[in-house]
Amino acid sequence: MKILVTGGAGFIGGNFVLKQIAETDNSILNFDKLTYAGNPETLNSVKDNPRYTFYKGDICSSEQVRQTLETFQPEAVVHFAAESHVDRSIDGPAEFIQTNIVGTSVMLSESLLYYKKLNGAMKENFRFLHVSTDEVFGALGDEGKFTETTPYDPSSPYSASKASSDHLVRAWNRTFGLPTLITNCSNNYGPYQFPEKLIPLMIINAISGKPLPVYGKGVNVRDWLFVEDHCDAIYEVLKKGITGQTYNIGGNCELKNIDVVETICKILDKIEPNKDGKKYRDLITFVTDRPGHDFRYAMDISKINSRLNWQPKETFESGIQKTIQWYLNNPDWVSAVSGK
C-alpha cells in the first residue's frame, strides 16, 4: 500500500512511519511542515529507505497538497498533522484554528478531488483516516467512559479545533462520499514525544534536577496509551474499519497525573539515582491549575476490540519503563528538540 502521512515527523506520526517501514511492505510519503514539534531526527533510521519519501509541505496549501497527491498517487491518507498542546492553544488559539480546521478542510477538499479521478480498485480501496483525540468529548466525572456516540463538549481551543475537524471529516463523508475514518485516542506516551508534554517533561526535568510542575493537586485522571499500541490500532482501522465510522482507541489505563509523576520518580530512583542521594519526588512542585482543565478522560474501546480484534499490548508499567529508558538512551535527540 502507498500511504500519504501528514505530520509524519511529529510524535505519533513519526512512530507510525517507523513502524510502517519496519513491519510492512508499504511505501510512505511523509508530508510535514516541520514546525517546532516536527523532528526529522526521529526518522533518521529510515531516511535512506527506498520505501520512505519526505516532502516538506503545509497542509494549508491546496497547491502543495494537490501536487503531492497527484505525484505520489496514494491508496490511503492518514492525517496526523495538527497543533496539539492545550497550553499553547490557550496562549495562541489562531494557529490551532488555522492548522487543525483550515488545514483539515484543505486535506479533505484535495483528497476528494483526487478520489474522484481514481478508477477501479484504487477508487474502491481508497481511505482517508483522520487521527483525533478524546478531548473533543470534554470531561467525565468519577464514573463512565467516552463511547463513539458521546456528545462533543470541548473545553479548550485545542479540543474545539479538533472537534471542528472531526465534524468536517464526517461532512465530507456524508455530503461528498469521501471514504473517511476517524479515530479518537486517549493520552499517548512513548519515544520521540516533544518535551512539552507531561511524561517526557517529567523525565527530562528530573534528570536535569529541575522542578516537576504538576497542575493543581495532580488529581486529574487520564487514560494512558503507549504510542506503538496506538499506531497498531490506527493501521487496523485503516485496513479493516468501516468507512464513515469512528473508533475509540485507549490504553485501559486510568491514572491520576500525580501518580504518573510519582511512578516516573520511583523508576528513576532505581535506574538513574541522584548523585546526592535525594529522591526525585522532592522536585515535584504544584502549580496553578490551567483554565478549563478537564477532570477525567476514559475511553470505552469495546468497539475496536470486538469488531477489529485490537487491544493494547503494553501495560502502563511496561510502557513507562520502555519510555524512560528510551529518553535516557537518547540524549542527543532530547538536546536537539529541546533547542527548538
Query: What DSSP assignment string belongs to 208-265?
Result: TT--EEEETTS--EEEEEEHHHHHHHHHHHHHHPPTT-EEEE--S-EEEHHHHHHHHH
Q: Give the type of residue at 219.
A: V
The confidence score (pLDDT) of residue 291 equals: 85
**CATH superfamily for domain 2-192+224-252+296-313:** NAD(P)-binding Rossmann-like Domain (3.40.50.720)
Residue 192 is among the residues annotated as catalytic for this protein: no
Residue 247 is among the residues annotated as catalytic for this protein: no
The confidence score (pLDDT) of residue 155 equals: 93
Give the predicted TM-score (pTM) of the model.
Answer: 0.95
Task: Show the low-confidence residues of the chain (pLDDT under 50).
Answer: none
Is the Cβ–Cβ distance between 231 and 225 less than 8 Å? no
Instruction: Summarize pLDDT for 241-270 with one digit per residue, the tens.
Output: 999 999 999 999 999 999 999 999 999 999
> Pick the catalytic residue: 58, 83, 134, 228?
134
Q: Give the type of residue at 36.
A: Y
The confidence score (pLDDT) of residue 293 equals: 86
Cell of 51: 520505501
The confidence score (pLDDT) of residue 339 equals: 66
Looking at residue 30, what DSSP letter applies? E
Query: What DSSP assignment string belongs to 50-99?
Result: TTEEEEE--TT-HHHHHHHHHHH--SEEEE------HHHHHH-HHHHIII
Residue 135 is among the residues annotated as catalytic for this protein: yes
> Pick the catalytic residue: 158, 235, 297, 327?
158
Sheet of strand 254-256: strand arrangement: 187-189, 221-226, 254-256
> Pick the catalytic residue: 135, 223, 236, 300?
135
